[in-house]
C-alpha cells in the first residue's frame, strides 16, 4: 500500500491528461461532477454509477443517545445519512489490488 | 440519478464539449478513484466525502447452511465517509 491521499487536484490532472482540456476547465468539470451528484442526493435521489457504486440517502429516526463522557442522555434528532455501496467491480479491484 | 443522467446534465451545461468528451471526463473521475483505492490510496474530496480502503482481518467463518467452519482470508474493502458540508446539506443546513 502506498498510503497516498489524492485530492480534486489529482482528479482534474487526470481529466487534463485524458481529455486535453485546459487545467482550469478540467478542474471546473470535476467540480461540476461532484456538484451534480451532491445536488441529486440533497433532493433525496440515489446516485447510481455503473461499475463504481451507489450512493443512497437513508432517513434515520430520532433516538435517545448518551454523552459517553458525562453519561448524560441527549436526544438525537431524526436526520438523513448518506451510504455508499460499492459495485462488485470496485470491491474486486480493491480486494485484488491490496492483496499482500 | 444514473451515470448517463449525470453525463447529460454536464453536457447540457457545456454545449461547447462533445458528448463523448463529457463521457470520458465523467469516466476518468470515477476510474481515478477506483485506481487510487486499488493501490491502497485514499481520495479526499473536501465537502463531498472521502474514499478509503479498510482492512478486514481473516477469521474463521461458518457455512450457514452446513455449519461447517471455513477460514476466511484477510481482505480489503472500499469505504466512503460523507463530508461535513454534504452531511449538513442533507439535513437542510446550507
Q: Are residues B47 and B83 in the same domain?
A: yes
Per the CB < 8 A criterion, the answer to whether B29 and A49 are in contact is no
Q: How many CB atoms lie within 10 A of CB B5?
A: 14
Query: What's the pLDDT score for residue B92?
Result: 87
- Tally of domains in chain B: 2
Q: Give all strands of the β-sheet with A5-6 in edge-to-edge order.
A: A5-6, B42-45, B49-56, B75-82
Q: Are residues B62 and B76 in the same domain?
A: yes
Per the CB < 8 A criterion, the answer to whether B37 and B23 are in contact is no
pLDDT 10s digits, B6-51 = 999 999 999 999 999 999 999 999 999 999 999 999 999 999 999 9
Q: Are residues B60 and B89 in the same domain?
A: yes
pLDDT 10s digits, A29-57 = 999 999 999 999 999 999 999 999 999 99
Q: Are residues B52 and B83 in the same domain?
A: yes
Q: Are residues B13 and B52 in the same domain?
A: no
Q: What is the mean pLDDT of residues A68-88?
A: 94
Q: Are residues B49 and B93 in the same domain?
A: yes
CB contact under 8 A, B82 and A90: no
Nearest to B2 by CA among A38, A43, A46: A46
pLDDT at A68 over 80: yes
Q: Are residues B31 and B9 in the same domain?
A: yes
Considering only residues 31 to 70 of chain A, which have any Cβ-Cβ distance to chain B shorter than 8 Å? 32-34, 36-38, 40-42, 45-53, 55, 57
Residue reference for cell 450457514 = B64
Shortest CA gap A72–chain B (Å): 24
Nearest to A25 by CA among B78, B53, B17, B44: B17
Average pLDDT, chain B: 95
Query: What's the pLDDT score for residue A100?
Result: 77
Nearest beta carbon to residue B45 from set A34, A41, A46: A34
CA dist A1 and A68 (Å) reads 34
Interface-testing mutation among B90, B91, B94, with chain A (most A C-beta atoms within 10 A): B90
CATH number, position B91? 4.10.520.10
- The bridge status of strand B75-82 relative to strand A73-76 is unpaired
Q: Are residues B48 and B74 in the same domain?
A: yes
Q: Are residues B33 and B46 in the same domain?
A: no
Q: Are residues B54 and B76 in the same domain?
A: yes
Per the CB < 8 A criterion, the answer to whether A63 and A33 are in contact is no
Q: Are residues B66 and B93 in the same domain?
A: yes
CB contact under 8 A, B48 and A34: yes
**pTM for this prediction:** 0.91
**Which cell goes with A5?**
491521499
Range of the domain at B1: 1-40
Q: What is the ipTM of this complex?
A: 0.90
Nearest to A55 by CA among B54, B15, B83: B83
pLDDT band for A1, please (50, 70, 90 cuts).
low
Query: What's the pLDDT score for residue A2?
Result: 60
Nearest to B22 by CA among B34, B36, B5, B37: B5
pLDDT 10s digits, B53-85 = 999 999 999 989 998 999 999 999 999 999 999
Q: Are residues B87 and B76 in the same domain?
A: yes
Interface-testing mutation among A31, A94, A100, with chain B (most B C-beta atoms within 10 A): A94
Residues of A in contact with B38 (CB under 8 A): 93-94, 96-98
CA dist B55 and A64 (Å) reads 31
Query: What's the pLDDT score for residue A9?
Result: 96
Amino acid at each position: 500500500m502506498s498510503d497516498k491521499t489524492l485530492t480534486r487536484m489529482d482528479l482534474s490532472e487526470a481529466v487534463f491528461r485524458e481529455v486535453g482540456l485546459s487545467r482550469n476547465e478540467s478542474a471546473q468539470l470535476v467540480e461540476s461532477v461532484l456538484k451534480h451528484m451532491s445536488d441529486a442526493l440533497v433532493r433525496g435521489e440515489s446516485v447510481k454509477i455503473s461499475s463504481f457504486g451507489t450512493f443512497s440517502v437513508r432517513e434515520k429516526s430520532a433516538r435517545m443517545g448518551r454523552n459517553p463522557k458525562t453519561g448524560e442522555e441527549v436526544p438525537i434528532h431524526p436526520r438523513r445519512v448518506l451510504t455508499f455501496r460499492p459495485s462488485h467491480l470496485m470491491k474486486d479491484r480493491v480486494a485484488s489490488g491490496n492483496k499482500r | 440519478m444514473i451515470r448517463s443522467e449525470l453525463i447529460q446534465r454536464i453536457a447540457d451545461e457545456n454545449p461547447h464539449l462533445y458528448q463523448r468528451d463529457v463521457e470520458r471526463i465523467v469516466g476518468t473521475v470515477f476510474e481515478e478513484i477506483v485506481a487510487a483505492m486499488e493501490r491502497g490510496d485514499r481520495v479526499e474530496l473536501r465537502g463531498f466525502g472521502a474514499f478509503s480502503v479498510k482492512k478486514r482481518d481473516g477469521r474463521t467463518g461458518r457455512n450457514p447452511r452446513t455449519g461447517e467452519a471455513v477460514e476466511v482470508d484477510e481482505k480489503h474493502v472500499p469505504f466512503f465517509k460523507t463530508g461535513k458540508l454534504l452531511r449538513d446539506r442533507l439535513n437542510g443546513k446550507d
